Structure 1
Amino acid sequence: MDTQELTLEEKLKALRDTYGAQLPSKLAEVTEFWAHLCEQSWDWTITENLHRSVHTLAGSAPTFGFTDVGQNARKVEHVLKEWIANQTSPTESERHTISALITTLTNVTTIPKRESESETDTATSAWTKCQTDTHLIYLVNKNHKLAIELAAQLSQFDYRVKIFNDSSNIDTAMKMERPAAIIADASGDLSGILLIRGIKALYSASIPVIFISKYNDFESRLQAVRAGGDAYFVEPLDINPLIGRLDQLTQNREVEPFRVLVVDDDHSLATHYSLILEQAGMEVAIVTDPRNVIAMLAEVRPELILMDVYMPVCSGLELAKLIRQQDAYLGIPIVFLSSETNLEKQFQAMRMGGDDFLTKPITDKNLIASATIRADRSRTLNTLMVQDSLTGLLKHTKIKEQLAMEVSRATRTSTPLSFAMIDIDHFKKINDNYGHLTGDRVIKSLARLLQQRLRQSDSIGRYGGEEFAAVLPGCPLENAKTVFEEIREAFAGLIFLHDGKEVRVTISIGIADASHYLKPEEINHAADEALYKAKNNGRNRVELDLHKDVTHSH
């Protein structure tokens, strides 16, 4: 962790040094523009170039610690802005005023203030991720048999469980290895309640706690709340809601980093934003030429665009409107980053397609917070549109789109690709015998198991009803078979409860790979045929498509 912080500090220092080395030429450019205006008849093109130069300085200089340069550039910018707005040549007195301001600007110290470094260090260290084992669970229960059974169920969902039948060893264990969560028995003499109170007092109150109890009365639940419990389940346990709550509390599933596109013609400033956001765990792409934005949108698929307002070629306002012309990008939030302080112009920017306006200079902490809030909201809205409401998996149309995209990529790069079709065996009987609520729990359990056992790079969808599909890029057929054999066995080991009775369910799986197929429809059909073979051969098995008698469609 120290190495990562040091690396970031070195990168930011290199950016400051580079900016500081370039600053004299930037100030010389301001002086040159002003000299041209004083020597010739008033030229509005040169005036706008001068305005752009001081506007850029006002926004970028404070970010790299040159606060005085930024403040003085801002004063020049305000005067020039009025002249440009009125399109009236300045009087002799006004020229003397601006000349004095530019002299002050160009003579100001170019040594960055150290405060900016400490502010950056504080902001980034506050966002540094804690290295925690999100799979380790402490299970505290005097009933050893029940603890063994529950641990076996939890292990099917990739949790590693340590069992404690009393509190004698848990203190030593806590000092050695911190768990992601604690599941404790709250029944009987409230020993579990007292234990958790002690742990919360001695260690971090942030460790999530789930209580299990025989009792469902108000007083028992209140005691659990007062002890710091985050969830409460009554025996006999249904594993599905318990796992769901455990996933939420531990954030056990890996979260894909937010994707951000930074559009700013000032490369140093764009790089600074990129480093700060990457340190916060985001994936960032930079565009300094507005003409390259559309191509980058298709490649990066950003969940947030951070855009400067004043740029050459076209303004940020024009670029936002251009982006909004395409339906595919209507939902991507655009946040303008500019030193523009005029509220009317900020509102105009948002009317042109922006979602928010942040004023430069912006602290690293505020930049991270603003980007996180907007990207998270964007992802949530997108999720509602493309994901199945019951399982959280991709909808039928979306998983087929993912298959088509990955088949194209596999063909282009000559890399392996496997596609699996998964079906719950005798699902109609489950609904008929145990009801649709039990059927929904079975479907959600399989969805969660697939999410936990497959990679973040894999795509999983609910194909329809009790049928699922998974796209595994870079995965050869035999490797996919090994993975899905493990998933099949894990699912068969799950226990579902209905009226106190245990219910077990199995799945059948068919897998095909893209090496013998040119079109997504072909590999889809091949996996479906393999699934049909699995069902015909007795169910609860994995079958592969072996490319027999394959003819390609050209």
Structure 2
Amino acid sequence: MTKHIPNTIEERLYVLRTRWERYVAKGQFNQFIEFAVAVNSLAEYFNRLHLSGLVRLCEGLEIAVLAKLGDQASHPMAQQDILALQRQLDTLLSSVEHSRAPSMEQRTTEPRRDTTTAEADWIKPRTIWLVYAPEKREIANAISSQLRFFGFDIHELSWGAEPVSEDAVLAVLFIPASENTRPEELARIEAIRAGSPSSQLIYLGAQLAIDPIVTLMRAGVDVTIPDEGQCANVLNCILDLVKVNEQEKYRVLIVEDSRVAVALIQRTLAQHGMDTRAISDPGNLLEVLENYHPDLILMDMYMPRFNGVEATRVLRQMSAYSAVPIVYLSGESDVGMQVEALRLGGDQFIIKPFNPVLLAAIIKTKIERFRETQRSSRLDGLTGLLNHSAAKSRLNTMISQLPEQNMLTVAMIDIDHFKAVNDTYGHPVGDQVIRGLAWLLKGRLRSVDLIGRYGGEEFLIALPGISPEQATSVIDRIRGDFCTLPHSHSSGALYSSFSAGVAAFPMVETAAALTEAADGALLQAKRLGRNRVEQAAYS
């Protein structure tokens, strides 16, 4: 029978409490390991949902737990140690309950998508406190209006005012009078941190030096944003807290001939939502790789027929697998052998018996870096949308896979007078305008639609199953919304607009011809005065 893996927050908290209670009752070392894995898994869950305040509390508990994990002879723990961990656990559980939003009626900036049970289960608060000095009212108003546009509930406070809202707070933005933080401002930050342990604390206007930033972090600040381009970075930081990542499960191929080791590894990684496949014979490695496409290979050093290093050397000669992370797992304690194994293609060496929390952390970090490297070749760094080449490739694929007698409409979008924005307000504000349009497109379009940054201030979108008339209506509504979106800067807020051209398949039959026709319609929209959507004319 497949063991049920907890998905909802209630299930995860139940597992955490149950494992702690079992350890307190019996004091067995393996029970403490299970509790440590549950704490680590909960931290990963909160991190995936961008609940950074709760991540911090989980990590504090995890550090305390890991400090007690090294020496099996020290278990069961002394009563004072149990009480100390119990206090940290109670603080975490209390903060989780406090942070849960009371209703499902909250708006979201992201499109409606299918989400996992775990993601849908957590409804994040959207209240933000904006604490600012009187001298910074203009910039505070600009940031406030922009955040309100995206559905956030803003409570504006002076540095000396007491918060009046009792709702769970997503974030607190601090705008000081100057870059030199005053002692009373640090005291205020510490007080708010103590009262809102799960909220994200963001400080605007920090000095670009280590000492003052460390001082702010010690007071409880999570993120510091320097003066240069601060307005352009605030909304990006806040939206990252509420967006839901559609992340494909991490896939790990285990090459290991010990059934006991495989069972322990699979159980540990399943706790962190990772998918695994295990083989005992490395001779089947290439066949399995072709079908499974893992993000990481966990390789035993010594197996029948040939060893893990030999298998790795074979893989590193194949372009398809030359960059896949390979982590060795072995009882080999000879440092020279370990160094040689890494030199010949491995990425990490873990000694058996392994710490399950450390194993999961290493695998997760390696996979994240591997996937980030893959994404960086496909995604635009500023907006997170598909870049020029990836968007063109995706459009070709969409056309080739389009059902017969189905339509696909393509639109080219260009921000009006964008050069004037850069010349007048600077490139950071120009970047903010580009990101603002990207966020609107992601928020208003479907998950099946293609959205790409085609270059500079130009975007490419493709809407399968949508007629040119329907697409024109949808894009025109987005155009109207974009015109009312305030883009904050140091002197207030500016507003922008865009023009768009629309063309459709099968009236135009290739991806290149579609983008060319849509671009022609875009040029026509500009000739007619900009801030409008035009359809392509077909001969």
**Aligned pair partner of 2:326 in 325, 334, 343:** 334
Q: Structure 1 residue 365: deviation in Å?
A: 0.3
Amino acid at match of 1:151: S
Q: Structure 1 residue 506: deviation in Å?
A: 1.2
Kept in 1: contact 2:146–2:487 (CA 8 A): no
Helix, strand or coil: the match of 1:180? Answer: strand
**Aligned pair partner of 2:356 in 364, 367, 388:** 364
Q: TM-score scaled to structure 1, two decimals?
A: 0.61
CA deviation vs aligned residue, 1:400-421 (integer Å, no higher than 9, x gap) = 2333344445559x99876543
Q: In 2, distance between residues paired with 1:117 and 1:479?
A: 59
Alignment of 1:97-496 (within 5 A): 115-128=29-42, 129-130=45-46, 131=122, 133=124, 135-140=126-131, 150-156=143-149, 158-165=150-157, 173-174=165-166, 176-177=167-168, 179-184=169-174, 186-187=176-177, 195-204=188-197, 207-211=199-203, 228-229=220-221, 230-231=223-224, 239-247=231-239, 250=241, 252=243, 254=245, 256=247, 259-264=250-255, 270=262, 272-282=264-274, 284-288=275-279, 302-310=294-302, 315-391=307-383, 393-410=385-402, 419-431=410-422, 438-447=429-438, 449-450=440-441, 460-470=451-461, 484-485=475-476, 487-496=478-487
Q: In 2, distance between residues paired with 1:363 and 1:234?
A: 43
Distance 1:353 1:187, change over 3 A: closer
Structure 2, gaps ≥5 residues long = 1-8, 19-26, 47-121
Kindly name which structure, 1 or 2, has the bigger radius of gyration based on alpha carbons.
1
CA-based RMSD of the aligned residues comes to: 5.1
Q: In 2, distance between residues paired with 1:159 and 1:482?
A: 23
Distance 1:395 1:368, change over 3 A: same
Kept in 1: contact 2:414–2:500 (CA 8 A): yes
CA deviation vs aligned residue, 1:337-359 (integer Å, no higher than 9, x gap) = 33444545544443442212223
Distance 1:343 1:296, change over 3 A: same
Residue aligning to 1:506: 497
Distance 1:280 1:251, change over 3 A: farther
Percent of aligned pairs with the same residue? 31
Q: In 1, distance between residues paired with 2:256 and 2:384?
A: 39
Kept in 1: contact 2:525–2:534 (CA 8 A): yes
Amino acid at match of 1:462: R
Kept in 2: contact 1:253–1:452 (CA 8 A): no
Q: Structure 1 residue 3: deviation in Å?
A: 2.4
Q: Structure 1 residue 292: deviation in Å?
A: 6.6
Kept in 2: contact 1:186–1:224 (CA 8 A): no
Helix, strand or coil: the match of 2:128? Answer: strand
Higher relative contact order (CA 8 A, sep 6+): 2
Residue aligning to 1:3: 11
Q: In 1, distance between residues paired with 2:490 and 2:32?
A: 61
Amino acid at match of 1:467: E
Helix, strand or coil: the match of 2:199? Answer: coil
Q: In 2, distance between residues paired with 1:276 and 1:390?
A: 36
Kept in 1: contact 2:475–2:533 (CA 8 A): yes
Kept in 1: contact 2:487–2:495 (CA 8 A): yes
CA deviation vs aligned residue, 1:15-44 (integer Å, no higher than 9, x gap) = xxxxxxxxxxxxxxxxxxxxxxxxxxxxxx
Structure 1, gaps ≥5 residues long = 11-112, 550-554
Q: In 1, distance between residues paired with 2:284 and 2:339?
A: 26
CA deviation vs aligned residue, 1:202-227 (integer Å, no higher than 9, x gap) = 341x53333568999xxx99997785
Residue aligning to 1:98: none
Alignment length, in residue pairs?
Answer: 436
Q: TM-score scaled to structure 2, two decimals?
A: 0.62
Helix, strand or coil: the match of 2:324? Answer: coil
CA deviation vs aligned residue, 1:438-482 (integer Å, no higher than 9, x gap) = 544533444455566667776644322321234667989888667
Q: In 2, distance between residues paired with 1:469 and 1:365?
A: 43
CA deviation vs aligned residue, 1:365-408 (integer Å, no higher than 9, x gap) = 01111112212332344455444455554432233233334444
Q: In 1, distance between residues paired with 2:449 and 2:267?
A: 28
Q: Structure 1 residue 124: deviation in Å?
A: 2.4
Kept in 1: contact 2:202–2:225 (CA 8 A): yes
Helix, strand or coil: the match of 1:262? Answer: strand
Q: In 1, distance between residues paired with 2:29 and 2:214?
A: 48
Q: Structure 1 residue 154: deviation in Å?
A: 1.2
